[in-house]
Structure 1
């Protein structure tokens, strides 16, 4: 591809552009690794009427489980449901061939929960709220 003229950079948050770039990046990753295994993964906690109360969502890719979002309402935290949701997702990831799991959380969210579940911190980045950080954890499945 040849480009003539000046290119422009636009400050943007276009979901269409982001989706296009994500597909292009994934194609590149597949070309480089020869592995095309990205798949969504998740588990939801529902009440007896089927309403979603919380859950855990992420993806599996390149032998890794990436945990993107985990939410339980306050009244269900500490009840054991979080550990059960995580175990179900980890078991499915393991069936898919994943050997490790990776999660990013904030210091005021759930790092202690993940450590209790066997995750180990491998990185930390302070952010704009004093005494708080983003924490990166992983676990061998």
Structure 2
């Protein structure tokens, strides 16, 4: 097939979900049907109600994918990040997750994740301005 066009889809085409449905149909032939992406969204606020941190992720194919975990400088080293991650992992288990994965830049929180039981399984050196990106994972105990 050499008669095709590459183009930017319209918003309607993207929102229709057709591409995702077609990919799932292809995947089902190999692994059977599976559920949709399930969000795991958490926020932390101080006693005054101000946002001090949060976690955004999702469960898909029995994996918790942590996309973002942030804690304000003033709230660090007080257990906020540890609690956010622990609650996210528990919610993920309840949604059927058996493992978790995330990535972190060299200057961010690799040591923190190691303390929480994550292991580095891959790295891209010089990802940006000489810093590496670490890819980490953890088995979630039942």
The one of 5, 8, 29 aligned to 1:7: 5
* Gaps in structure 1 of 5+ consecutive residues: none
- Shift of the 50–19 alpha-carbon distance from structure 1 to 2, 3 Å rule, reads farther
Aligned residues: 136
CA RMSD of aligned residues (A): 2.9
Between the aligned partners of 2:120 and 2:103, the Cα distance in structure 1 is: 10
TM-score (norm 2): 0.80
Deviations 1:16-74 (A, max 9, x none): 38954976236523652310231110211012343322101100011000000111111
Aligned residue runs from structure 1 range 58-77, under 5 A: 58-77=57-76
Distance 2:77 2:132 in 1: 23
The aligned residue for residue 28 of structure 1 is: 23
CA displacement 1:113-141 (0-9 Å, x = unmatched): 10000000000002354541111000000
CA change 1:127–1:64 in 2 (3 A) is same
Q: Which residue of 2 aligns with 1:80?
A: 79
CA drift of 1:78 comes to: 1.3
Task: After TM superposition, give the deviation of residue 80 of structure 1 in Å.
Answer: 0.9
What are structure 2's unaligned runs of at least 5 residues?
none
Please report the TM-score for the alignment, with normalisation by the length of structure 1: 0.81
Distance in 2 between the 1:65 and 1:80 partners? Answer: 21
Q: Hey, what's the Cα distance between the residues in 2 that align with 1:49 and 1:117? A: 28
